[in-house]
Amino acid sequence: MAHTMAGDFFMDSIWMNISLPSFPPLEGDRKTDVLIIGGGMAGLLCAYYLKKAGVDCLLIESDRVAQGVTGRTTAKVTVQHGLFAHTLLRRFGAEKGRMYLEANLAALERYRELSKTIPCDFETKDSYVYSIDHPQKLEEELRALDQLGFPGEFVRRLPLPFSTAGAVKLRDQAQFHPLRFLAALVSGLPIYEQTAARAFHGKTVLTDRGRIRAENIIVATHFPILNKHGAYFLKLYQHRSYVLALENAPPVDGMYVDEAEGGLSFRSYKDLLLLGGGDHRTGKDGGGWAELKSFARIHYLDARIAARWATQDCMSLDAVPYIGPYSKNTPGLYVATGFNKWGMTSSMVSAMILADLVQGKKNPYAPVFSPSRSIWRPQLAANGFESAMNLLRPTAPRCPHMGCALRWNPREHTWDCPCHGSRFTEEGRLLENPATGDLPQKKDVRSQ
């Protein structure tokens, strides 16, 4: 397969060709009713709905808005988060399972409504979760969807270049261009870029140029940056995924994702096929772009790679996001995290819930997403073991977040933390949180 990889080692996603408005850094001290920390989709939607409600708020972003995970999504807006209805019933019961799906359906409809006045390539598409060789999983999912009141369909034949056992289909889901959407949404919002939250003192946040006093604080920084509360360093880990944008590959009408961990996803955008996969826990080995290129060489002989990118997702213990009060002991402090690869609907659900909570209103969906729900899940032990092993590894460099040993990632030329997912360039510059600063030694640290 002919392909080009011109330019820097890291390539931007196809969404990054849009110029978003720029915003000044915050200078001096400020007071506000609601401070939002983090300028991704979740934080920006919170700011949008709070401003619309007449709430005094401001948003700070340590770099530029929408240039992190939001700019590297595959931008599927769907209620169908894998074969999840069966899992919801088993873990949470019918009432909370139905509320989870209803919250995400409400999120989808909010995007649909906003897209009527925002040109963002919004398209209604059917969503499919396929299985290679487990038809019984599809049958279980269809029964669970029916029990929860959501109509699913079984589809046997799919426009994919390999055989499957079929798929569960949900009609009238959506896909869009996330940065076109945000380019319009952010206009007029009280946003301050290049303004990092350096420390918390109660309800006062310190930045490099002043202090911000807020009655309510929303932490929407992807991975929460405040370690003292909430135990998010135990409740979350991070996962990397990879995307190739292929020219001259057959398009697919719809959005397709494998039910199996490590499977492939497919969606089209204009004349490009977006092929996703190669997943692995951050700091571990995985297939990456090489796995996707190998698949494309076999199945899309005439295709050409137009772009490639990678993204990072926070994974919760039970596959449901943490949205709500940061912890039981931090009144006025809120969080949105753990979106489990479904960041578009989860961001809107976050805005729906948090905009209500900071105004003292009840939200019907809040109990499902409460960050204070039980942490006794099998993933907790796996997260604890990974942290313990990497804390004990006698190697350098080490992550400034909690001291775990970093691992060199030759695929992306970065230092990655297997414990909590912080990432740094080979010179030590911070790329991904929860770390909040560069490595202490600002030189090529591979020799360490």
94 and 147 Cβ atoms separated by less than 8 Å: yes
Domain end call among 303, 336, 369: 369
Q: Are residues 311 and 322 in the same domain?
A: no
Domain end call among 271, 288, 315: 315
Q: Are residues 427 and 281 in the same domain?
A: no
Q: Are residues 38 and 68 in the same domain?
A: yes
212 and 60 Cβ atoms separated by less than 8 Å: yes
Asked if pLDDT for residue 2 goes beyond 60, the answer is no
Q: Are residues 252 and 346 in the same domain?
A: no
Amino acid at 385: F
Domain for residue 90, yes or no? no
Q: Give 146-168 pLDDT, tens digit per residue.
A: 999 999 999 999 999 999 999 99
For residue 440, what is the domain's CATH number?
2.102.10.10
Q: Across the chain, how many H-helices and E-strands are there? A: 9, 21
396 and 388 Cβ atoms separated by less than 8 Å: no
Q: Are residues 226 and 259 in the same domain?
A: no
Q: Give 55-72 pLDDT, tens digit per residue.
A: 999 999 999 999 999 999
Q: Are residues 254 and 393 in the same domain?
A: no
State the burial class of residue 194 (Cβ atoms within 10 Å of its Cβ: 0-12, 13-18, 19+). Answer: middle
Q: Helices 178-185 and 41-52, interaxial angle, to 10°? A: 30
Number of domains observed in the structure of the chain: 3
Place 384 in a pLDDT band, splitting at 50, 70 and 90: confident
State the burial class of residue 361 (Cβ atoms within 10 Å of its Cβ: 0-12, 13-18, 19+). Answer: exposed
Domain for residue 356, yes or no? yes
Using alpha carbons, select from 334, 316, 314, 333 the residue that is nearest to residue 324.
334
Select the more confidently predicted residue: 386 or 88.
88
Backbone torsions φ then ψ of 182, nearest 5 degrees? -75, -30
Q: Give 270-327 pLDDT, tens digit per residue.
A: 999 999 999 999 988 889 999 999 999 999 999 999 999 999 999 999 999 999 999 9
Asked if pLDDT for residue 446 goes beyond 90, the answer is no
Q: pLDDT at position 378, please? A: 85
Q: pLDDT at position 147, please? A: 96
Q: Are residues 212 and 278 in the same domain?
A: no
Domain for residue 104, yes or no? no
Nearest-angstrom CA–CA distance, 342 and 81: 7
Domain for residue 98, yes or no? no
Asked if pLDDT for residue 355 goes beyond 80, the answer is yes
Q: Give 193-243 pLDDT, tens digit per residue.
A: 999 999 999 999 999 999 999 999 999 999 999 988 999 999 999 999 999
- % of the chain with per-residue pLDDT over 70: 96
For residue 191, what is the domain's CATH number?
3.50.50.60
Q: pLDDT at position 441, please? A: 65
Q: Are residues 204 and 332 in the same domain?
A: yes
Q: Are residues 69 and 36 in the same domain?
A: yes
Domain for residue 307, yes or no? yes
Domain that holds residue 422: 378-447
Q: Are residues 63 and 184 in the same domain?
A: yes
Q: Are residues 428 and 333 in the same domain?
A: no
Domain end call among 296, 315, 334: 315
Domain for residue 175, yes or no? no
Q: Give 107-139 pLDDT, tens digit per residue.
A: 999 999 999 999 999 999 999 999 999 999 999
Domain for residue 244, yes or no? yes
Place 4 in a pLDDT band, splitting at 50, 70 and 90: very low
Mean pLDDT of the chain: 93
Q: Give 5-59 pLDDT, tens digit per residue.
A: 333 334 689 999 899 999 999 999 999 999 999 999 999 999 999 999 999 999 9
Asked if pLDDT for residue 443 goes beyond 70, the answer is no
Domain for residue 86, yes or no? no
Place 395 in a pLDDT band, splitting at 50, 70 and 90: confident
Q: pLDDT at position 162, please? A: 97
Q: Are residues 311 and 325 in the same domain?
A: no
Q: Can you read off the two tokens belonging to residue 376?
A: 């006794």
CA distances from 91 to 160, 177, 322, 378, 444 (A): 32, 33, 15, 12, 46
